[in-house]
Amino acid sequence: MPFGLGPWGWLLIPYLWSWWSYWWPWWGWWPWYPLTWPTYALTPKEYETATLEYQAKLLEGQLEAIRRRLSQLRGTTGTP
């Protein structure tokens, strides 16, 4: 029996089957796997746009902090 749970271990298999390809990625995604559908494919366009704009704003802020630190290390004048 799987996981040492006796006959109750077989009841867990339907719940764990969707994670099958994460445990063994070399097996791939076969069409008879039960509904392993990414949730981001179902998000509305407006929400995805807002999320990507927010992430871009955060990344631009981090990039600006990196550029300021590089200018400090190189000895050029920059904003502290």
The string of pLDDT tens digits covering residues 35-72 is 555 666 678 899 989 999 999 999 999 999 999 999 99
pLDDT at residue 79, rounded to an integer? 58
pTM confidence score: 0.45
SS (H, E, C) the chain: CHHHCHHHHHHCHHHHHHHHHHHCHHHCCCCCCCCCCCHHHHCCHHHHHHHHHHHHHHHHHHHHHHHHHHHHHHCCCCCC
